[in-house]
Amino acid sequence: MFTVYVLYSDIFNKIYIGYTSDIENRIIAHNHPNNKGWTKTFQPWRIIYSENYDNKQQAMMREKQLKTSRGRAFIHSLIAAE
């Protein structure tokens, strides 16, 4: 099973969209002090949305959709509704 997820940084008003086969450890990695990636700059992150898929290809397709302007509008509507 693969999870497509959206992270949100309240402090910096940033979103991050990704997919993984291990959501719990992936969130920990994004928030870990030794993280060397893009997400380190905007910590802490919290998960605001996720969807599960049976295979990697489906998850990759959905991640790509969420990264479009329409997908980002959907994500920003979720944030506004909080």
- pLDDT value of residue 54: 98
Burial 19-37 (b: 16+ CB within 10 A, else e): bbeebeebbeebeeeeeee
Which one-letter DSSP state was computed for residue 54? S
- State pLDDT tens for residues 3-13: 999 999 999 99
* Mean pLDDT across 46-55: 98
| Domains, the chain, with CATH or none | 2-81 (3.40.1440)
Please, what is the angle between helix 56-66 and helix 69-81, to 10°?
80
